[in-house]
A and B are shown apart, each in its own frame.
Chain A
Amino acid sequence: MMEGLTFLDIIILLTLVILSISFLLTSVRIIKGPSLSDRIVGLDMLVAVGIGFIAVFGVKTGYFLYVDIAIALGLVGFLSTVAFARFVLRHGDDSVFHDKKEAAEAEQLAEKARKGDAS
């Protein structure tokens, strides 16, 4: 079964797996993200991963028109990031640490870093 696969096929499979993992990690940040700005950064990163996916699909299928779609997605992603930023600027960010344990953990980490700086 493995004989049919060329070098490029194996690389494409590997790349798709790596991109899927990074998609999942970015989604975790979007779900967790304590502040609204964290979520916007995550969505911006998600667009970058999507562009990567489209480029890999272009290599896999041989339809080079995918490059146009990637450029259009980049444009839309940039515009949406700007729109989100202006939205937050106007309405403010009222998100808080919903998870008390997480807040305490962050505080503890910061304390440790300050001690590390001092010593």
Chain B
Amino acid sequence: MIHDFVAGLLLLIGAVFILSASIGLLRFPDVYTRMHSASKAGTVGSGVLLLALAVYSMEFSVVSRALAGIAFFLITAPISAHLIARVAYITGTKPWKGTVIDDYAANVNEKKHKQP
């Protein structure tokens, strides 16, 4: 059963991606780095798990729906990550003290000056 084997391999890969995403979520020092871990590795993990379901079923309807779902997750993950990062910055969550470059600070201050 070759596609059982491929589906099992994909399941294992996806689970390891999700595990690494959650370890990153727990261990990284601030919101911005945590979000990087959750939105990239987490999306790939759930996408690969859906792909495993598609490979296991080998039916056109299931494969097309799984691919549509993966495309949807890949489109929405950066949008939500961007929204959360912007909101966290605007509401004053400080970046980690080890951060050396903060280009957005000038931008936000400029906006505050423009709207007195």
A interface with B by C-beta (< 8 Å): 6-8, 11-12, 14-15, 18-19, 21-23, 25-26, 28-29, 35-38, 40-42, 44-45, 48-49, 51-52, 55-56, 58-59, 64, 66-68, 70-71, 74-75, 78, 81-82, 85, 88-89, 92-93, 106-107, 109-111, 113-114, 117
Contact = CB atoms under 8 A, between A and B. Distances in A.
Contacts of B5: 7
B66 to A, nearest CB: 5
Interface residues of B, number: 59
B53 A64 contact: yes
Contacts, number: 182
Nearest to A17: B15
Given A11-B8, A18-B18, A21-B19, A45 B50 contact: no
B88 A48 contact: no
Given A29-B26, A64-B62, A41 B4 contact: no
A67 B16 CA distance: 20
Nearest to B61: A64
A7 B7 CA distance: 11
Given A52-B45, A81-B80, A70 B18 contact: no
A71 B87 contact: no
Given A74-B72, A114-B97, A114-B98, A81 B84 contact: yes
A116 B23 CA distance: 24
B90 A22 contact: no
Given A15-B11, A93-B91, A71 B53 contact: no
B26 A25 contact: yes
Given A67-B53, A82-B79, 17 more contacts: A7-B4, A8-B4, A11-B11, A15-B14, A18-B15, A19-B19, A41-B25, A44-B84, A48-B18, A48-B46, A49-B18, A51-B46, A67-B62, A82-B80, A110-B96, A111-B97, A113-B98
Contacts of A18: 15-16, 18-19
